[in-house]
Structure 1
Amino acid sequence: MKKILLVCAAGMSTSLLVNKMLEAAKNRGEEVEIAALPISEAKSVIDEVDLVLLGPQVRYQKKQVDSMVKGRVPVEVIEMRAYGTMDGEKVLGRAFELING
């Protein structure tokens, strides 16, 4: 099972995106674990995930997250339009592209 971490400011809007992504995964028949955490809590689970996606509002923290993962997994900022429209299918599709190389 793939594990995806969404890093955000407080977790409110990102939690909604997590639900949309889980719904999209269910529709695809994919099993995935997705969590949304603020950057301050991300370090506690970062070694257990296959991908880290950053909300656009915290894109400035990408360098910090990159240093936490040390190149072990991909780190990407979620595309602004997909985030703004809470397009769980699009974000999930991109996540699988990144995980599967």
Structure 2
Amino acid sequence: MKRIYLFCDNAMSTSLMAARMQKVADAHNLAVEVKAFSQAQLEDIITEFHPDAVLLGPQVKHIYEKVKEKYGHYGMPIFVIDPDDYGQMNGERVLKRAILEIKKGRNEKC
């Protein structure tokens, strides 16, 4: 099972995005777990669960470089969710990007 974890200020809006992404994954029978967390939990979640992808909400894009520098050695993609996809709560597009980035195995900023 692939773990795709989203982080933002309080995990409020990312919880909605995670739910939409999980719904798409479930509809396509993908072995994916999508969850949302507060950025305050970032270190604990990454070191304990070793997610396959870390997605940052647009509202915390300012921590991208710090997160990439600190956790990039784990080898999972770390990226900021596209603001348009986020604003539209387009779970399908965000899930597709996450899966593509996992397959590529890259860290990249949008």
- TM-score class, shorter-chain normalisation, is over 0.9
Could you tell me which residue of structure 1 aligns to residue 55 of structure 2?
Answer: 53
Aligned length: 101
Helix, strand or coil at the partner of 2:89 = coil
1:21-100 residue pairs with structure 2 within 5 A? 21-47=21-47, 48-71=50-73, 72-100=75-103
Q: State the 1:80 CA deviation.
A: 0.6
| TM-score, scaled relative to structure 2 | 0.87
Deviation >6 Å, runs of 4+: none
| TM-score normalised by length of structure 1 | 0.94
| 2:7 aligned partner | 7
1:24-65 per-position Cα deviation (integer Å, ceiling 9, x unaligned): 001111021122112210111213101100000000000121
State the AA in 2 paired with 1:54: L
- AA in 1 matched with 2:57: G
What's the Cα RMSD here? 1.0
Shift of 1:14: 0.6
Higher relative contact order (CA 8 A, sep 6+): 1
Structure 1 unmatched ranges of 5 or more:
none
Residue in structure 1 matched with residue 108 of structure 2 by the alignment: none
> What secondary structure, in the 3-state scheme, does the structure 2 residue paired with 1:86 have?
coil
Q: State how far apart, in whole Å, the 1-side matches of 2:36 and 2:53 are.
A: 12
User: Structure 2, unaligned stretches of length 5 or more?
Assistant: 105-110
Please state whether the residue corresponding to 1:52 is helix, strand or coil.
Answer: strand
Match in the other structure for 2:107: none
